[in-house]
Amino acid sequence: MNIRAIAALVLAAVFAASPLAAKDLTQEALAPLPAGLAEATFASGCFWCGEKDFEALPGVTEVISGYTGGRTPNPTYGEVGTNRTGHYEAIRVRFDPKKLSYEAVLEHFWHNVDYTDGEGQFCDRGESYRPAIFVHDEAQRAAAEASKAALAETKKLTAPIPVPILPAATFTPAENYHQNYYKTNPISYAFYRNGCGRDARLQQLWPERTSH
């Protein structure tokens, strides 16, 4: 069991015994998309990290951690972690298209994922940590395919990028204790992120960019 799984299990036990557990934050995550906003869905490995990375992007109004792309309804963290349900750990990103284009959201995704690794991300391995882009309509699909092709050309890659572009499927919000984890548990989050080598690898892939 990796350090992230241990931290999540401990936090789940603490959260279940706390007054915060009385309020189901995941129900708020199921609210319909507000008028004027757009939505994007990505898998980029650990959804704790995905939340932090995308909430830092101006124009983003909400990021929710969850599960998508699998075979079973209403999956739990424990079930997804067995790598038997087909689900990805994913994030749902809501943003204001007047301030932020979908193309810019895609660029941010590529800058925060190891686009050379289709079997997991950084220290996290297995199907639930695979990277993917989930598109909500044909316009998003066209933009995603164009961005993927541009990345391959820019980086002069000789092998195909192993990040699939898939139709958006049912998105199940993750348990309350996973939401905003980097804010509610900053020390354990920092320990996990550094130990997993995420930023070190991103710096290798994007040396021209400042690491997190």
Scan for tokens 């069991």, then name that residue. 1
CA 99 to chain centroid: 21
CATH number assigned to the domain with residue range 36-205, chosen from the 4 options 3.50.50.60, 3.30.70.980, 3.40.47.10, 3.30.1060.10 = 3.30.1060.10
- Alpha carbon distance 41, 128 (integer Å): 15
Catalytic-labelled residue, pool 46, 49, 123, 196: 46
Any catalytic annotation for residue 123? no
Q: What is the pLDDT of residues 80-126, one digit of tens each?
A: 999 999 999 999 999 999 999 999 999 999 999 999 999 999 999 99
Using only C-alpha atoms, the chain has a radius of gyration, in whole angstroms, of 17
Residues 6+ apart with CB under 8 A from 80: 67, 70, 87, 89, 128
Counting as low any pLDDT under 50, the low residues of the chain are 1, 9-23, 211
Q: What is the pTM of this model?
A: 0.88
